[in-house]
Amino acid sequence: MNILALSVCFACLATSTALAADPLATLPDADADRLRKHLPGVVLGPAKNLPPLSDVTDWYPLKEATFRYDRPVDAGKKATLVLTSGARAPGTPVGSPGDGWMVTVSDGATRYISNRTDKGILIPSEVSIANGLLIRLNPPEPVVLTGVKAGQDDSRDISVKIYDVHDPTVVTHSGTVTCKWTDLGGWRVKVPHGEHDTRLIRVTYDGSVGPASVNAQKYLFLAPGVGTVAFTDAREISAFLFFSEDIDHGGVLRAIEKK
């Protein structure tokens, strides 16, 4: 009897030690494996008592700033996101005051932001300057959502239409992508910018746009009052036309330059 009790104790101790050694042990294996591969050493473990995503602008602050990221598995390479105001807000009439927001990424693509207090931060349109294209997403692609409980999926079929920037009447590509947005709970992370309690967001894509088959996922770590402090992929739906899905686009926040 004593031997059995000791065996159980040793088994429990071994399990506890394994959980302590692996900060991602409570995540599904597929999610944990991708984070280990693209963001090695970033996750310190679960963050308890972190508030839900209610005020979306706290988790994705709409303030003019430049976010500079390092590539954790591609030494020497950087990524930059520039958040600026002044653009006409999506859905407002032409000539309306410039009370909208847009984010420009390193490759020159500019994404227009729709801020809906009842729905969240969304991307309804994008201009790919390098490729001379206009992209429309209906319904918009989610970045930060409110009203979705941790572990639940927000699933939407997004109609994608891509136009020639030189002749917006010409549709160059079109398709439909099923996009699933999931809050995977609170996690403590360490990046060059410091340590942060974050909520981990997973976004998956499945469908096709023109000649490109879309079957991929990305992960975002959102810190309150800061925004995205780490990610495994910065691409939006349209980018799958131009980049192979196995290219690493991970980033860890190094600095924020505020205006």
Question: Model-level pTM?
Answer: 0.86
The CATH number for 96's domain is 2.40.360
Between CA 246 and CA 259 the distance in angstroms is 35
Residue 4 lies in a domain: no
CA 144 to chain centre: 8
Burial of 3 (0-12, 13-18, 19+ CB in 10 A): exposed
Least confident of 36-40, 71-75, 164-168: 71-75
pLDDT tens digit sequence for 68-77: 999 888 777 8
Residue 22 lies in a domain: no
Q: Higher confidence at residue 66 or residue 6?
A: 66
Q: What mean pLDDT do residues 28-37 have? A: 93
Count up the domains in the chain and report the number: 1
Residue 45 lies in a domain: yes
Q: Calculate the average pLDDT of the chain.
A: 85
Note the pLDDT of residue 211.
78
Residue 11 lies in a domain: no
Q: What mean pLDDT do residues 2-23 have? A: 52
Residue 17 lies in a domain: no
pLDDT tens digit sequence for 75-89: 778 889 999 997 777
**Residue 174: in which H helix or E strand, if any?**
strand 167-191
Domain range for 194 is 27-258
Residue 21 lies in a domain: no
Q: State whether residue 3 is helix, strand or coil.
A: helix
Question: Given pLDDT bands bounded at 50, 70 and 90, which one contains residue 239?
Answer: low
Residue 115 lies in a domain: yes
Mean pLDDT comparison of 20-24, 140-144, 230-234, highest-scoring range? 140-144
Residue 2 lies in a domain: no
Note the pLDDT of residue 149.
87
